[in-house]
Amino acid sequence: MKIAYLGAGTWGFALASILAENGHTVLQWTRSPEFCKELIEKRAHPKLLGFTAPQGIHFTHDLKEALDGADVIVESVTTKGIRPVFEKVFAHGACDIPIILTSKGIEQETGFLIPEILSQMLKQDKSPRIGSLSGPSHAEEVIKRLPTSVVCSAYNSELTTLIQDLFTAPSFRVYPNSDMNGVNFGGAMKNIMAIACGMSDGLGFGDNTKAALMTRGLHEIRKLSSTKDCQMETLNGLAGLGDLCVTCLSKLSRNYRFGRLLAEDYSPEDALRAIGMAVEGMYTCKAALHLARKDDIAVPITEATYSIIYEGLNPREAVKKLLQRAIKEEHL
């Protein structure tokens, strides 16, 4: 198949490599002409040193060129960039081919998950053209072909099967899951908890603290998932607990690193510059807190993370506030 791949970050580069090695032709689009030129000349990503793009990948900064004749669109942009990018995609007439989403986030202005954003743009309810790939997967490990398991989902079961067929590889297992909202919600929310865990480590706290943050964080995710009609079981699987673990426990996670830098007295802006890539948890945190307040759902870890990022609360003060909360019986 010919695949238009939108986005050439590390995650996009790693997934495009899998698609090309599976025999597909990938035209990978980046908005930057300078970066496109570098990719064409070096056939390597500057943040994934030592790995060369397979021959089946071609690079372009011309969106129309990427879309012409494509059988499938795959995106790896940012949640904030979804609307502006797909406004251009649809303006080029690419309105009738499958779209596979790999970004993870919640839109601030609407509280929409990414599939909901595109369904709205297509003027459809749960568009059968939209599917997702999510789960515990660092680009740096996928590109090395280390064993990885993820999930795919779609509003249309035939598209779920297509995604599984496109991406499954010897070291990359793709499990189907019919809960589209749950798959996307788990992938979005775990980034907030990873920021909190990064701050915990940056403050010098131990494994006990991080275990508590992850467990109570999963509890928050499960509670808030009711606002999106997710299935609780999904959040116990790869797209929920699995993604939470890999993002909270690894220094490869940019959300974890962002939190750690905040604990080391970096401002959010300086931390972003130091990482040099999008930090989806920073964006999603505002949207998640809005959802929680709208339905009067207590999300103390999300709220503390928001206060640190957007209101200047000192991370140590945030920990004190969390520890001073009234203790209630644990309900899972």
3-state SS, 268-318, equals HHHHHHHHCCCCHHHHHHHHHHHHHHHCCCCCHHHHHHHHHHHHCCCHHHH
Mean pLDDT of the chain: 94
The residue among 72 and 326 whose pLDDT is bigger is: 72
- Which of 190, 223, 251, 286 is catalytic? The answer is 190
Shortest CA distance to 150 belongs to which of 258, 18, 20? 18
Cα(100)–Cα(107) distance, integer angstroms: 18
CATH architecture for the domain at 2-180: 3-Layer(aba) Sandwich (3.40)
CB 117 within 8 A of CB 110: yes
For residue 181, pLDDT beyond 70:
yes
What is the C-alpha separation between 281 and 300, in angstroms, rounded? 15
Can you name the residues that pair with 25 across neighbouring β-strands?
Answer: 2
- Give the domain ranges of the chain: 2-180, 188-323
Q: Under a CB-based contact definition with an 8 Å cutoff, are residues 166 and 1 in contact?
A: yes
**What is residue 69's predicted lDDT score, i.e. its pLDDT?**
94
Q: What's the pLDDT band for 324 if we cut at 50, 70, 90?
A: confident
pLDDT band at 326 (very low <50, low <70, confident <90, very high): low
| 190 assigned to active site | yes
- CA-CA distance, 55 to 106, in Å (whole number)? 35
CATH 1.10.1060.10 assigned to domain 188-323? The reply is no
275-294 residue pLDDT tens: 998 899 999 999 999 999 99
Q: Kindly report whether the global pTM for this prediction surpasses the value 0.85.
A: yes
Q: What is the pLDDT of residue 321?
A: 80
Confidence band for 89, pLDDT divided at 50, 70 and 90: very high
155/178 Cα distance (integer angstroms): 8
Terminal C-alpha separation, the chain: 44
pLDDT digits (tens, 9 = 90+) for 148-178: 999 999 999 999 999 999 999 999 999 999 9
User: Which pLDDT value is given to residue 331?
Assistant: 67
pLDDT tens-digit series, residues 17-63: 999 999 999 999 999 999 999 999 999 999 999 999 999 999 999 99
pLDDT tens column, 206-241? 999 999 999 999 999 999 999 999 999 999 999 999
Closest to 132 measured CA to CA, from 63, 169, 181, 79: 181
Q: What is the mean pLDDT of residues 72-81?
A: 96
